[in-house]
Amino acid sequence: MEIVHVYTKRRNEFGRQCNFSDRPAELHVDILPDPSLASNFIERDPCDVPIQCTQEMSEHEVNTERFESDTRGINHVEGGWPKDVNPQEMEQTIRFRKKVEKDEHYSSTIMQLGSNMEHCIKQNNAINIYQEYFEEEEEELVEESEEQPSAKTINVFRDPNEIKRTATCLSWHPDGSCKLAVAYSSLGFQNISPDMSYDSYIWDIENPNKPEMTLKPVSLLVCLEYNPKDSHILVGGSYNGQIAYWDTRKGSQPVEMSTIEHSHRDPVYKVIWLQSKTGTDTFSASTDGQVLWWDIRKMSEPTERLVLDPNKKGNLDNALGAISLEFETTMPTKFMVGTEQGLVVSCNRKAKTPAEKIVCTYSGHHGPIYALQRNPFFPKNFLTVADWTARIWSEDIKESSIMWTKYHMAYLSDGCWSPVRPSVFFTVKMDGTLDVWDFLFKQNDPTLSLKVCDEALYSLRVQDNGRFLACGSQLGTATLLEISPGLCTLQRNEKALATAMFERETKREKILEARHREMRLKERSRSEQSKDEDTKEGDGEESVEELATRTEAEFYEIVEAELKKRAKEQEKKVRRD
């Protein structure tokens, strides 16, 4: 906590000093009983009095009767007095007597407490009325009932400005998820009017009438993210390529921004916080083909830079434009980039040379990859959303995805995994529809398809508990939805079933990939053999010009023969007539 203001006060402004003294009790007020008030008294019947059916126990000290003589109480010792104790010596007798008293008192006290504690334990063997004894049967009943998946609208947060902008990015507050940060931007080419507001907002999910806080960037915010380590800090990527961060305790203006000359050259489509000790490291991606790392304590220039050149030469002219980013905290050196060209680029930040930082690529989409996220339970499998499909990939298979949805009529714009169920993911489409997929339940069609609004949906974000999700639309409307418990509660054996399905599909794709590789090798060997044969026979063959001349002559001969044939048939017909 930072000290904002210190209130000071002089000693003479405190007033008269209090002096306390001891004095006998005084009677200030004596209210005598009024019999007329007895008629208003309501007797409580029955009267509930809490009791505990156990004996009240506390720390006890046991003191036995004193010995009347020096020898009383120690005659029971086998063999009489010990050899080292002389009964005639007063000091030795007193010392030995204390030892015997201590042993007897300790043993008798322990025996008494033992019996009492046994009684207390038996008395406290009560039934917990709140314990659920038949959870398994209830789960079976729920499964048998097959509750229909559903979702309901909780709140709608609308862009308060007259000129509506697209809700391009959503971010939940990391502590309790009671707030939702929404970035508003206009992604149309040269579609920003002079009267358009640049503001983005933080909403309280229980108050859709007015935003809780306004963020005022110098350019429209395309992406916005809360810091998971400090909920007061947000970082945003602007349409002009700059990176800025805000501290909600310091107002609506950005605390610090990156300089124009060291920022991106295109809009920043994604920014992610890194796992670090300071909690101040982040990295961003843009369609200019660069991935930049930043420390918000020093925003003058990026700490690191990567050019997404597939040829691994670092040429910015050949770089792939980045649309989405993925970073998993359990894999601190790995990250993935989704590009405009439909490729997923897997990178290693700790590689020694820039060429080694680009590890491999995954191809399978026909358009920009708007969403890229690893499965929170199985990080080796990741989800991509682009063109008209959503695809699930395995890191081990680079040729194709292991699972995919059908091709939709509407374009897909965003998607993400459920944070609580490994087999559930969400997608939004340009026709305003939210699809909830559960591939353990149904593979060809979504488990739940919901028409959220009439305009296109552009962004999607799920709360950490998996119960609430927010969708951002083209006209700046953020819709808060609550999904049914069945879609946000981990099912029995779901992890094992999802693991089995991922392994099965991965194995199937490996077999198909090996088969395709074998077929390509056979086709290559056949083509090489045919080329060799053609080169051997090529010496005795005619040239291309000669072949064309001969073919042309044969063609005209066939045409002339056909004309002569038709003429003869015409003559025969005339003679008959």
Q: List, for residues 454-467, the tens digit of each pLDDT value.
A: 999 999 999 988 88
Sheet with 358-363: strands ordered across: 322-327, 334-339, 343-348, 358-363
Distance CA 200, CA 168 (A): 10
Across 163-187, average pLDDT:
89
Residue 121 has pLDDT above 70, yes or no: no
Residue 201 and residue 159: Cα distance in Å, rounded? 9
> Is 289 within a domain?
yes
Neighbours of 56 (CB within 10 A): 6
Express as a percent the part of the chain with pLDDT over 70: 83
- Taking the C-alpha atoms of residue 547 and residue 543, their distance in angstroms, rounded to an integer, is 6
Report the sign of the C-alpha dihedral through residues 70, 73, 79, 82, in that order. Answer: negative
Confidence (pLDDT) at 516? 84
Q: Is the pLDDT of residue 542 over 80?
A: no
Q: What integer pLDDT is reported at residue 548 of this predicted model?
A: 82
Q: What is the total count of domains within the chain?
A: 1
Task: Give the residue from 236, 231, 229 showing the smallest Cα distance to 215.
Answer: 236
Q: CATH number, domain at 304?
A: 2.130.10.10
Residue 478 lies in a domain: yes
The rounded radius of gyration (Å) of the Cα atoms in the chain is 42
The verdict on residue 182 lying in a domain is yes
Q: How confident is the model at residue 137 (pLDDT cuts 50, 70, 90)?
A: low
User: Would you say residue 376 lies in a domain?
Assistant: yes
Averaged pLDDT, 271-278 = 88
Residue 252: what residue type?
Answer: S
Q: Is position 36 within any domain? A: no
- Please tell me what DSSP assigns to residue 127: -
- In contact, 184 and 218? CB cutoff 8 Å: no
User: What is the pLDDT, as a whole number, of residue 133?
Assistant: 58
Residues present in the chain in total? 577
Q: Which domain holds residue 383?
A: 158-510
569 in a structural domain: no
State yes or no: pLDDT of 76 exceeds 50. no
- Provide the percentage of residues in the chain whose pLDDT is more than 90: 27
Distance, CA of 536 to CA of 152 (rounded, Å)? 74
pTM of the model: 0.65
pLDDT in tens, 182-219: 999 988 766 778 888 889 999 998 888 899 999 999 99
Residue 348 domain flag: yes
Give the pLDDT band (50/70/90) at residue 433. very high
Say if 400 falls within a structural domain: yes
Task: Enter the tokens of residue 81.
Answer: 């007095």
State residue 79's pLDDT score: 44
